[in-house]
Structure 1
Amino acid sequence: MEKIIGSCCAATALLALVSSCTEEQKRPNIICIVCEDISPMVGCFGDKVAVTPNLDEFSKSAIRFTNVHSNIGVSSPSRYALITGRYPMADGANYMRTLGSPDQKPEGVQPYSVIVNPDVKCYTEYLRKAGYYCTNNAKTDYQFTIPATAWDECGTDAHWKNRPEGMPFFSIFNIEVTHESRVWRRTNEKLSVNPSDIVVPPYYPDNDIVRHDMAVAYFNITEMDKMFKKLVDELKEANVYDNTIIIWYSDNGGPLPHHKREIYDRGTNVPFMISFPDGYKAGSVSDRLVGFVDIPATILSLAEIKAPDYMHGVPFLGKYASKEERQYVYGGRDRLDECIDKQGYIRDKRYRYVRNYYPGTPVYLDVKFRLSMPMMNNILELNKESRLDSIQASFFDNKRLEEELYDLEKDPYELNNIVNDKSYSSVLERLRKDYDSWIETYVPDWFIPEKDNIKRILPDGKQPFAAAPEFSMKDGLVTICSQTEGASINYRIVEENGNKGRWMIYSSPVQLKNNENIEAVSARIGYKNSKVVTFK
């Protein structure tokens, strides 16, 4: 692994900034439209209940990927993978929300920002280095405070329209209307589907409360579909649609019990589509296995940037796309808010193997946040009254085995654990072996308890600041460094009249004109941004 040390050296390890607008315009714009908490509950993915006309139409010009999997069925650890290209359990980032409210954490765990190896960057830095204007509107939730160098703009007003003329853009828009919390917050909305038309899966009791919450989830997906169209229409209205790659996906599986927070298909399998300006493979379907760690590497590849060696992901499209397809995707779950658990999984195209590190406990975790959902309370009440059938009641059984194996071709709901079926012994042995190899290769430190890991990265309990930028000048060129290993530097020019230019990532000495000043700030994942320093 190539290690990036010291900010003066760090800059040279990244791609040089493209200076010519003409050269920049050869690169495609890229936009990611990311929704929250949905499994493939979309018409073009085969859901006959979903009302999603805009995504269905978009699918005709896009590639539909049916085998894309998050590393966990919940947002924060997934977003860590989506911004770094690394398995969150490799870096102590697989817990549900290291930042945020202490009320959603076990006793003794206070909010903290994950600190990782100094070579790890938000992948958007590489895009910014290559001349892209990068915006995020507006969710982050990365498990660490946002480095100043991650985005040109990040917030509710961030938009590719704000870029300087001639610059290609990379933009993420997060649509939150499908989030789990919207199931109870939007329960009184006029529904887009008839609850009686819904197919209730066998792990739910079939009653009016369950059907209503499922219908609300479908209604939220319909609203997201409209918001998707609005964002695409903005590209067309600005005459940039014909040079823009559009990517759409969800941050994890569905919002309902048995979906979110689980590491079975209903929690990890997400819909994913991508369209190209030239119509590349328009309307096609791919069952290629893709993990969330692959997405940053692929976006860099689409921008003709080679992914750094520290990324765990493999590009599946673009200039550097791997010709060899993945055999497996991997993931696992840990602490979910205040509840502690540990599971890992490996999945190929047909089978899923799960290892339970707390055998003899239920799959169900009594997460307080979820208790606002009517159907969750209804299911709990029915279980208390022993009115659930054996499949539905298994959610609460203290009978988890150390291992689970599912044949998704025969058992798409993953209800029949065949780990003790001798006819699958060769499959079991193969998946065990590859799961253990993944642990050893990528996530050997995953088993350090969270409290011990916090002490390791924050020995004094305080989040460090990146060291302030330091300046030197030679032959009219300003060099900027930071004493923090692995820090990146944002800088901007301040003109004589006080006007300030846009922030850029430092990559090489900067030429100043007469009476110009330069401002800079240092940043590193897990560290607080340094103070802004001015060189005159």
Structure 2
Amino acid sequence: MHALGTILIALTSASLLAGAESRPNILLCLSDDQSWPHASAYGAPVIKTPVFDRVAREGVLFNHAYCAAPSCTPSRSAILTGQDIWRVGEGGQLFGTLPAAHPVYTDLLAENGYHVGYSDKGWAPGSLEAGGRTSNGAGPNYKNFGEFIASSPKGRPWCFWFGSRDPHRGYKKGSGVESGMDPSDVSVPAYLPDTPEVRGDLCDYFFEIQRFDQQVGRMLEQIEAAGQLDNTLVVITSDNGMPFPRAKANLYDSGTRMPMAICWPKRVKGGRTIDDFVNLTDLAPTFLEAAGVRVPGVMTGRSLMGILTSDESGNVEPGRDAVITGRERHAWCRVGGTGYPARMIRTHDFLYIRNYQPDRWPAGDYRIVTNEGHFGDVDNSPSKRFLLEHKSDYPRLFELSFGKRRGEELYDCGKDPDQLNNLAFEPDYQKTLQELSKRLTAHLKSSGDPRETEGETLWDSWPYHGRNNWPLLESTSRSD
């Protein structure tokens, strides 16, 4: 080898080593089915999340973070690819697949010197093989974070995905109260009956959020003990909303608005609260930019680095005044395996939803099975069971959770924070509805959503790599 070539290789190796030492470690902590504002940093009563609160206090707390879809598989597909769900094919529905043609940030980081891995729930549920992948999109699987860190080569930055299975159902009934929670202090959302059954169910859900918080705390302790916390970019958030009626699998805030806190002591000024609208698709380009890796042009998410490295609070970046998300098929709970396609745009003042198939049941087809309705897009729970058994006592709440919906929905979020009163057909709101509809359509078309560009789509015909429970006359229907 020529001497000049040897010198160039040596210089390149030294540069890469220097870059590796300055690039941050990345820790993504993802809860499973947790809605905003269920963390004590947001002032939520009863629940205590000291680890989330610490990250928010030492970093940045986001008031308007939204998932790309209120369903596990598509939300995780969007996080990994940095793309809207309608751009990732079968990755945009529950129990689908994640086609290998779509680049994921974990692979890009691994190709650029990062040690990558995950534990517990990575990209899931669905079939990786059907998409041509040989490993999980979140990276190689490790038993736990400690095993991952022990295997991390010295001098190399690392990226770890911790996918907790809390607070996904099922719950141990009474666990929240047994832990010391007082159900009388619970703030019950207006779309749920305010009853002892529902209050107890919410306490059990809070208990599992607290357990997730403790899990994250143990990882931060290990990072701090290793002297690496200063240069670790930590993100704590959730994949979709809580497993209650009118929440998970719905485009209301209860299904799409996520708690999120981010810290990076070396680069991010702490003690700030951000009101900009952000999407979890923004995480992939954020991680890549932080690591000095080129962001692929196919990513529709926008890096949060400008927000994170600023000194400002409130509204920081122009253009982040709205967020757009959507949903397709969730559980297999309609005749023929059809979904409930919908898209939404959320601004500070309004939520506009477009339901493409308003003739379908949004919570899944109704079918008498013993004494319960099927409604499989709603996880079975004491809250669901109570509403089904007492629908005559709570007819409006029953209709809000399980009834059919109009083709368009519009909610004044300032006056109606729980988004119960559809104003889409009120004369005084027609200008707002038209403006939001036009803005939503423009984004969907520009980002290649086949619902707007092609009309006919393949969503309902794609395989469902899970249990087809519709032909079975079962009283239970679990979505994962």
Aligned residue identity for 1:138: D
| Change beyond 3 A, Cα 1:244–1:336 | same
Normalised by the size of structure 1, how large is the TM-score? 0.73
Superposed CA offset, 1:461-513 (max 9, x none): xxxxxxxxxxxxxxxxxxxxxxxxxxxxxxxxxxxxxxxxxxxxxxxxxxxxx
Normalised by the size of structure 2, how large is the TM-score? 0.81
| Cα distance in 1 for residues equivalent to 2:198 and 2:165 | 22
Q: CA RMSD in A?
A: 2.8
The SS at the match of 2:248 is coil
| Change beyond 3 A, Cα 1:76–1:418 | same
Give runs of aligned pairs for residues 55-134 of structure 1, distance below 5 A. 55-93=52-90, 96-99=93-96, 113-115=97-99, 118=101, 120-134=102-116
Aligned residue identity for 1:434: R
Partner of 2:327: 333
Contact 1:51 1:192 in 2 (8 A): no
Give runs of aligned pairs for residues 494-509 of structure 1, distance below 5 A. none
- How far does residue 57 in structure 1 lie from its aligned partner after superposition? 2.9
- How far does residue 129 in structure 1 lie from its aligned partner after superposition? 2.3
Aligned residue identity for 2:288: L
Partner of 1:380: 388
Partner of 2:30: 34
| Change beyond 3 A, Cα 1:173–1:47 | same
| Change beyond 3 A, Cα 1:151–1:423 | closer
| Change beyond 3 A, Cα 1:30–1:423 | same
| Change beyond 3 A, Cα 1:237–1:396 | same
Contact 2:173 2:204 in 1 (8 A): no
| Cα distance in 1 for residues equivalent to 2:223 and 2:98 | 36
The SS at the match of 1:182 is coil
Aligned counterpart in structure 2 of residue 394 of structure 1, from 396, 400, 412: 400
| Change beyond 3 A, Cα 1:187–1:371 | farther
- How far does residue 171 in structure 1 lie from its aligned partner after superposition? 1.0
| Cα distance in 2 for residues equivalent to 1:94 and 1:377 | 31
Greater shift, 165-174 or 142-151, is seen at 142-151
Partner of 2:457: 448
Give runs of aligned pairs for residues 70-219 of structure 1, distance below 5 A. 70-93=67-90, 96-99=93-96, 113-115=97-99, 118=101, 120-141=102-123, 145=128, 146-148=133-135, 153-157=140-144, 159-179=148-168, 181-183=169-171, 190-219=178-207
| Cα distance in 1 for residues equivalent to 2:423 and 2:91 | 28
Aligned counterpart in structure 2 of residue 300 of structure 1, from 288, 291, 312: 288
Percent of aligned positions that are identical: 26
Aligned residue identity for 2:406: L
| Cα distance in 1 for residues equivalent to 2:58 and 2:79 | 24
| Cα distance in 1 for residues equivalent to 2:51 and 2:402 | 39
| Cα distance in 2 for residues equivalent to 1:149 and 1:363 | 30
Partner of 2:263: 275
Matched, 1:407 2:429: no
Aligned residue identity for 2:355: N
| Cα distance in 2 for residues equivalent to 1:125 and 1:151 | 8
Partner of 2:352: 353
The SS at the match of 2:237 is strand
The SS at the match of 2:406 is coil
| Cα distance in 1 for residues equivalent to 2:98 and 2:406 | 32
| Cα distance in 2 for residues equivalent to 1:371 and 1:287 | 31
| Change beyond 3 A, Cα 1:189–1:93 | farther
Greater shift, 222-231 or 418-427, is seen at 418-427
| Cα distance in 2 for residues equivalent to 1:17 and 1:137 | 31
| Cα distance in 2 for residues equivalent to 1:68 and 1:228 | 19
| Cα distance in 2 for residues equivalent to 1:52 and 1:317 | 25
How many residues are treated as equivalent by the alignment? 421
Contact 1:92 1:453 in 2 (8 A): no
Contact 1:356 1:403 in 2 (8 A): yes
Structure with the higher helix share, 1 or 2: 2
Contact 2:123 2:137 in 1 (8 A): no
Superposed CA offset, 1:281-339 (max 9, x none): 31110011111221111111121223110111111216999954333311222212113
Contact 2:59 2:265 in 1 (8 A): no
Contact 1:43 1:50 in 2 (8 A): yes
Structure 2 unmatched ranges of 5 or more: 1-11, 310-315, 334-338, 365-373, 465-480
| Cα distance in 1 for residues equivalent to 2:93 and 2:179 | 31
Structure 1 unmatched ranges of 5 or more: 1-15, 100-112, 456-536
- How far does residue 114 in structure 1 lie from its aligned partner after superposition? 4.5
Matched, 1:313 2:301: yes
The SS at the match of 1:34 is strand
| Cα distance in 2 for residues equivalent to 1:114 and 1:56 | 33
The SS at the match of 2:113 is coil
| Cα distance in 2 for residues equivalent to 1:48 and 1:315 | 32
| Cα distance in 2 for residues equivalent to 1:424 and 1:70 | 27
| Change beyond 3 A, Cα 1:134–1:63 | same
| Cα distance in 1 for residues equivalent to 2:13 and 2:167 | 37
| Cα distance in 2 for residues equivalent to 1:215 and 1:156 | 29
Contact 1:98 1:114 in 2 (8 A): no
Partner of 2:473: none
Superposed CA offset, 1:165-188 (max 9, x none): 110111111221211x13357758
| Cα distance in 1 for residues equivalent to 2:234 and 2:63 | 17
The SS at the match of 1:423 is helix
- How far does residue 217 in structure 1 lie from its aligned partner after superposition? 0.6
- How far does residue 371 in structure 1 lie from its aligned partner after superposition? 5.4
Contact 1:61 1:279 in 2 (8 A): no
Aligned residue identity for 2:167: T
Contact 1:87 1:443 in 2 (8 A): no
Contact 1:79 1:251 in 2 (8 A): yes
| Cα distance in 2 for residues equivalent to 1:328 and 1:440 | 17
| Cα distance in 1 for residues equivalent to 2:34 and 2:91 | 20
- How far does residue 82 in structure 1 lie from its aligned partner after superposition? 0.6
Give runs of aligned pairs for residues 458-473 of structure 1, distance below 5 A. none
Partner of 1:416: 421
Matched, 1:437 2:445: no
Superposed CA offset, 1:335-381 (max 9, x none): 12113312111112221111112224544334448554122111111
